[in-house]
């Protein structure tokens, strides 16, 4: 039940952005640094994914399709009705953030950790979560451009080029680089994870600096916070119930149902924040990622309790 360490670090970056927000020419330089950091981040994602992991996923294709449907079909369908809310009910960046939350891919580490703790199918969770992140590099931007055309992120060749250059190109180059980098990536897995977290903190600090430096934070009212909590928490509860029932309907065994539930309900802060930084105006990114941050912490706390309970109720296989 402890607060996730990554969340604590992000909250620290948020606090620092309040005390010392970056603006003016310094913000322009910082934006360039952030873009380079995002490029490095997605290069690392590509360099770490082995061809064997991709091929292994073919064997359990029904399970992976169910998880991907939950992530990229069911979630977006649940988020779409928010676009019908009357103008002014919540601030536009928060509304965009609530929908964006439904479009990002699943987590990797958290999905695998919770599946492992609960006694689920760990290889299936590993492959599905990884596949979700890989496809998310393409599907999340496409869904954003499809569902949020009035947010300033509707389709344009410039946005498509930005997505390709900052997300897809480094990922592809990372995959190609495995010819020479595979062993290095395997040896330095822990250090590279710290680098990933550093990049996320850089992005969060820049995003919230823009929000506070421009005064946009004044648009975040009590109604925005209440709507965020009133949507994210029931959304998590609904998807936990739905994924378990859907997996049961598909006749999956207990271990597979656990993998479906934990992979199909997660949303990745690590992948979502960089995509938001590429897709949305810098001044609004801070507010847009607030719902994702709330959902991220909620999924960690609730999944920890569920995983412990499932582990305690697991049948004895001795």
Q: Which residues are within 8 A (CB) of 70 and not within 5 positions of it... i.e. 6 or more apart?
A: 239, 242, 243, 246, 260, 264, 265
Q: Rounded to whole angstroms, how far apart are CA atoms 276 and 269? A: 10
Please give the share of the chain, as a percent, with pLDDT higher than 90. 23
Q: Residue 52's pLDDT band (boundaries 50, 70, 90)?
A: low
Give the Cβ contact number of residue 73 at 10 Å.
11
Instruction: Give the closest residue to 262 by CA, choosing from 275, 279, 276, 243.
Output: 243
* pLDDT at residue 5 in the model: 67
Residue 30 burial (CB count, 10 A): 18
Q: How far apart are CA 277 and CA 288, in angstroms?
A: 10
Global pTM value: 0.72
Extended beta strands in the chain, E state: none
Show the tokens assigned to 122: 């760990």
- Domains in the chain, start-ordered, CATH in brackets? 5-311 (1.20.1530.20)
Q: What is the mean pLDDT of the chain?
A: 81
Assess contact for 247 and 261: CB atoms under 8 A: yes
């Amino acid at each position: 039940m402890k607060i996730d360490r990554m969340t604590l670090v992000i909250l620290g970056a948020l606090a620092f952005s309040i005390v010392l927000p970056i603006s003016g020419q310094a913000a322009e330089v910082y934006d360039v640094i952030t873009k380079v950091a995002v490029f490095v981040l997605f290069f690392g994602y590509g360099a770490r994914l082995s061809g064997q992991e991709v091929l292994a996923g073919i064997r359990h294709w029904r399970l992976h399709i169910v998880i991907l449907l939950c992530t990229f079909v069911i979630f977006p369908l649940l988020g779409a009705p928010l676009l019908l809310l009357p103008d002014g009910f919540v601030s536009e960046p928060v509304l965009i953030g609530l929908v964006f939350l439904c479009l990002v891919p699943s987590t990797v580490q958290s999905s695998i950790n919770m599946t492992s703790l609960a006694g689920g199918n760990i290889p299936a969770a590993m492959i599905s979560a990884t596949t979700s992140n890989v496809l998310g590099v393409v599907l999340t931007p496409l869904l954003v451009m499809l569902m949020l055309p009035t947010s300033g992120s509707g389709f344009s060749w410039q946005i498509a080029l930005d997505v390709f250059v900052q997300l897809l190109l480094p990922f592809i180059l990372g995959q190609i680089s495995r010819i020479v980098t595979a062993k290095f990536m395997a040896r330095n897995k822990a250090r590279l994870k710290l680098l990933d977290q550093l990049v996320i903190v850089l992005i969060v600090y820049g995003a919230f600096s823009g929000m506070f430096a421009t005064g946009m934070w004044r648009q975040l009212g009590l109604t925005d916070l209440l709507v965020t909590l009133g949507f994210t928490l029931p959304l998590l509860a609904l998807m936990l119930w739905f994924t378990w029932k859907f997996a049961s309907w598909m006749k999956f065994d207990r271990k597979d149902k656990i993998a479906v539930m934990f992979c199909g309900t997660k949303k990745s802060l690590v992948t979502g924040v960089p995509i938001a930084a590429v897709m949305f105006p810098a001044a609004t990114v801070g507010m847009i990622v607030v719902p994702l941050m709330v959902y991220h912490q909620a999924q960690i706390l609730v999944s920890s309790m569920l995983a412990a309970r499932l582990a305690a109720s697991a049948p004895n296989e001795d």
